[in-house]
Amino acid sequence: MREILALFAQNIKRVENLISLYGPPVRGRRKVKETDILRAALVLLHATLEDFLRSLLILKVPNADQEIVDKYPLAGSDRKRPEKFSLGALAKHRGTSVDELIRQSVVDYLDRWSNFNDLGEVKKALVLCGIDNDLIEGHDFGYLPAMIARRHNIVHKADRNGIRQGQGHHTTKSIGLKEISRYVESVKNLQSFVVDNLPQ
């Protein structure tokens, strides 16, 4: 767990370094090319969140109960969902311990198929890590849903503004220090929540 937290702190520092390059607040709206550094910081922030959640799943799921491990397909499968397999499917894994095969199956799945594109997927990951669902449902995730949605708009639509163009409307959504700071705090708060509630 120490390594996961250290990597999280390192990645948050990278995000904060990007934000610092933006400079102090100014009056009025900055040009899009100036605010793109905040968009880049937001995308890196979302990657930090995803990396943190994947690392937690890799740490916790291999040692979880059968009903959780059953959610993952056997390593080497090209399927997204787990399926029954014959004993022969294990032949290519000879010499691998059961513990290592389970871990590799989890890693393979997470590397190929996992993403966290809404709050529901974040909550599901926390449940799989063993955090009590009542605690999760009672937690205030702050601006996390807004951050995830904004990242989606940036990476899939270049942060295009869906509003019809005209007087006072811009082709790209605005973004500022206050907004990005809220997102960073929400991700940090999630990390603190996990540290406080993750079973040992």
Confidence class of residue 100 from pLDDT cuts 50, 70 and 90?
A: confident
The model's pTM: 0.87
Q: Is 12 within a domain?
A: yes
> pLDDT tens digits, residue range 116-163?
999 999 999 999 999 999 999 999 999 999 999 999 999 999 998 875
Residue 49 falls inside a structural domain = yes
What residue numbers bound the domain in which 126 lies? Answer: 2-61+115-197
pLDDT in tens, 30-83: 788 889 999 999 999 999 999 999 999 999 999 888 888 888 888 777 766 777
d(CA 94, CA 88): 10
Measure the CA–CA gap between 162 and 104, rounded to whole angstroms: 42
Burial 103-116 (b: 16+ CB within 10 A, else e): bbbbbbbbeeeeeb
Distance CA(47)–CA(186), nearest Å, equals 14
Strand, helix or coil at 75? Answer: coil
Residue 172's SS3 state is strand
Separation of alpha carbons 183 and 180, rounded Å? 5
Q: Is residue 69 part of a domain?
A: no
Query: What is the tens place of the pLDDT at every residue in 154-165?
Result: 999 999 887 555
The domain tally of the chain equals 1
- Rounded to the nearest integer, the mean pLDDT of the chain is 89
d(CA 194, CA 70): 23
- Cβ atoms of 154 and 43 closer than 8 Å: yes
Residue 85 lies in a domain: no
Of 8-22, 35-49, 100-114, the poorest mean pLDDT is in 100-114
Is the pLDDT assigned to residue 168 strictly greater than 60?
A: no
DSSP code at position 95: T
In a domain, 81, yes or no: no
> Is 107 within a domain?
no
Q: Is residue 136 in some structural domain?
A: yes
Residue 65 is predicted with a pLDDT of: 87
Lowest mean pLDDT segment, chosen from 2-6, 94-98, 123-127: 94-98
Q: Is residue 28 part of a domain?
A: yes
CA-to-CA distance for 5 and 57, rounded, in angstroms? Answer: 14
Residue located via tokens 């594109």: 117
pLDDT computed for residue 5 by the predictor: 97
